[in-house]
Structure 1
Amino acid sequence: MLTDRQRQVVDLKDGKGLTFKQIGEQLGADKASVHKSYHAAKKKLADKQARLDPGIRKTLDKLGMGELPGLHSGWVHKEDAETGEWASSYFFLGKDGAPEAADLEAVLEDAVANVFRGDLAKPARPQPVGENLLVVDIADLHIGKLCVFEETGFAYDRAEAVRRGIEGTRALLERAQKHGVAHILFVLGNDVIHIDKPGRTTTSGTPQDTDGTLAVMFDDALAFYVACIDMCRQVAPVTVLYCPSNHDWFTGFALARAVRAWFRDCPEVNASDYNTSHNHRKYFRFGANLLGFTHGDGAKEADLPALMLDEVPQHLDGGRRRYWYLHHLHHKIGKRGRGTQKRQTEKDLIGMTVLRDDAGLEDTQAPQIEYVRSPSPPDGWHHRNGYVNRQAVEVFLHCPHDGQVARFTGWF
């Protein structure tokens, strides 16, 4: 930990440009002791800088933020005006030295109060315009996934994942506002983090190509969600809903609860125990809309209509417009109808999307099934096997009476 004298010397030397002799005269010390204090302080700060994650340090250097003297921790959320490069990462450096045991409680209180709370004073409770529900479902973002351009034709890392997620949300939110938004349903999870174990594997143990450690992926994902929910809550009240998924089953759950804790004092954000639980299928009622959400790696698609009837029978009479939103496959598939009459209305193929105009919309009681697109490109394994998706983020506008009336897509 830097002493008060060391901090004074560094400030006078680096901040005000004084010579060692001038600093000594101002502090009443000889030149040699000032010189010794300065270099001891710089060594401590250099050791501190070395503890920073190499990926974050590289990004900070590119953005002109490479010097971190005196910092305990923080968020990197900045765009380079010249290159357009954007980054959002959390870094933790600790104090200049290990805290004394007597100070540990104070350190923890400070972390909870400042590091993990942030400034929640941005909007008052919004006055929404219109009557519609906007479903913001940034699916399968895979923060920490690594795609090498020379191998796949796509470059994707933590910074690019968060950039696509936040900038996509910003653009689609602005577009949807023009159609009247009374409430926002913000969907968490769905492989937001690429791995679930420090050994760089998914929950089931499948190895992955990664950028960064599990810890920095978690912090990036939290920064991403906080930034997006902050944007949303300035438009309309927000309800958070979490979908567990196969890449980050446990880490995603912990992240959902972290988001709930972050916004616990925000009256405009609702993150209930049910909505942030590890229940694999979740439901949301809005007017005549009954919406079901699941990642897509669990129950069979053919069983989802019956599961909706069985799990939320209390909403069947009022919820005449029924929908299932699924994820996991990274490309668009839309289906309507029931049983043998079920028809595919839309499907992403390589390089194109096929739409059918003869599927029929007469059976409004049968849930519409929709797989949500992913902004994440194929990594090496998927590219080798020809699984090349059309990368995009999507939001969905639901009228309280007429169901889904619009969908907005942002392509990458």
Structure 2
Amino acid sequence: MAARKHDDDTIIAALTGRTVTAAAEILGLHPRRVAAHKARLARKGWSPEHDMTKTVPDGFHLKGTSTLYKDGAPVVQWVKTSIDHERQAELIREACQAMSEDLPQVEPRMACNSYLSHLLAAYPIGDAHIGMRAWGEETQGSDWDLAIAERVQCGAMAALVDMAPACEQALIINCGDWFHADNMEGTTSRSGHILDVDGRYAKMIRVGVKVMRQCIESALMKHARVRVCNVIGNHDDTGAIWLSIALSHIYANEPRVTIDTSPAPFMYHEHGKVLIGMHHGHSCKPDRLPGVMATDQAQAWGRTEFRYWYIGHVHHQSVKEYSGVTVESFNTLTAKDAYSAWGGYRAQQNMKCIIHHAEFGEVGRHTVNPNMLKGEVAA
């Protein structure tokens, strides 16, 4: 009997009022396969023999049902659900893939410089929080909004590229929380914290994509090849995913640009004897990261001598050397919001470019801060 694919509605229709064997004949499936479908549907809330006839939406788990009976007949039923985060992320990736297929694509350009093949320029971008709003009088700091974020982030990247040597490779690392909010409500998806946001979600998306494209374009002016890694943060669980997918379509025809579309929480880049790990820092403590790298990248660990973890999340700079790995967190260019101000957080604002030699590891770095960029205008 040839196996055929059926959606849930078709399977439910075949099973309604029939035995598994009878439904199997209608569907053209083996009875064991239909029984497996029936068990799966029960976990989604459909089990007529238990008066359960409503399936939960795709992207949710069934937690349980409560039914009110009167004279032995069901009168009212409550279906309790919880979010299936893995499935929702999968659905978002599928939607982004479909929506991005018709995006305009950048035409390939010839590299026009002589490059230093032994050097890699890494551009770790600490939590950009594009879309965040801050009122300087309240936060005892600087004002911040979408326009300022665009000017400062684009200006910082352009300045750092100008300072960097003509490395053959560039690695742009969005260390997570590129976007300040991940939904229309302006809250964090994990904890539901209410955020100070500037304008509409759609406007935040427009500026966020524009800024990252400008960072890539700046890097292409100096480097032969550019790889972009958008690490998933706690403020943009889904935003990081669709940003990578959208950029991968925009640069599909540009062989000099590689967009990493992996939804994994840990990313890696190998350059000669250098191994760089990338993680936001919200789900794994720094002291556990060396073990994660050694396990995930066992062969690369053996090939390399200089190993680094670059993380964000904490908004302040810290460097700690563990056995075989150095873990570094980075500042952000973004001003303090009200939450940070009230919490007493007072980290510096800056962004860095770190130069790695294929044989000797880190050999130099450059730093810019927002005060150096006053008067800069984003292209």
TM-score by length of 2: 0.68
Deviation at 1:183, TM superposition (A): 0.5
The equivalent residue for 1:269 is: 257
- 1:181-205 deviation line (CA, Å, top 9, x unaligned): 1100112351111000110111221
- Quick one: which amino acid aligns to residue 124 of structure 1? M
Tell me which of 366, 390, 398 is aligned to 2:356. Answer: 398
Within 5 Å, give how 1:238-253 maps onto structure 2. Answer: 238-253=226-241
Deviation at 1:212, TM superposition (A): 1.1
Cα distance change of structure 1 residues 200 and 405 upon mapping to structure 2, 3 Å threshold: same
- 1:209-233 deviation line (CA, Å, top 9, x unaligned): 0101111111111101111101112
* Residue 125 (1) aligns with residue 111 (2): yes
The equivalent residue for 1:306 is: 291
CA contact (8 A) 1:135 1:397 kept: yes
Tell me which of 144, 150, 155 is aligned to 2:137. Answer: 150
Tell me which of 170, 181, 185 is aligned to 1:184. Answer: 170
Within 5 Å, give how 1:4-403 maps onto structure 2. Answer: 116-117=103-104, 119-120=106-107, 123-130=109-116, 131-152=118-139, 153-177=141-165, 180-188=166-174, 190-204=176-190, 205-236=192-223, 237-271=225-259, 275-338=260-323, 366-403=324-361
Q: Secondary structure at the match of 1:285?
A: strand
CA contact (8 A) 2:175 2:279 kept: no
- Quick one: which amino acid aligns to residue 280 of structure 1? P
Q: Secondary structure at the match of 2:303?
A: coil
Cα RMSD, aligned residues only: 1.8
Q: Secondary structure at the match of 1:317?
A: helix
Distance 1:409 1:160 in 2: 19
CA contact (8 A) 1:240 1:276 kept: no
Deviation at 1:120, TM superposition (A): 3.0
How many residues align structurally? 268
The equivalent residue for 1:343 is: none
CA contact (8 A) 1:190 1:327 kept: yes
TM-score by length of 1: 0.63
Cα distance change of structure 1 residues 189 and 254 upon mapping to structure 2, 3 Å threshold: farther
Deviation at 1:129, TM superposition (A): 2.1
- 1:256-290 deviation line (CA, Å, top 9, x unaligned): 1111111010011112xxx2221000111000001
CA contact (8 A) 2:127 2:315 kept: yes
Deviation at 1:298, TM superposition (A): 1.0
CA contact (8 A) 1:325 1:371 kept: yes
Distance 1:411 1:330 in 2: 14
Distance 2:286 2:203 in 1: 34
CA contact (8 A) 1:172 1:410 kept: yes
Cα distance change of structure 1 residues 200 and 311 upon mapping to structure 2, 3 Å threshold: same
Distance 1:206 1:186 in 2: 29
Q: Which runs of 4+ in 1 moved over 6 A?
A: none
Distance 1:316 1:248 in 2: 30
Distance 1:288 1:165 in 2: 30
Higher RCO (CA 8 Å, separation ≥ 6 residues): 2
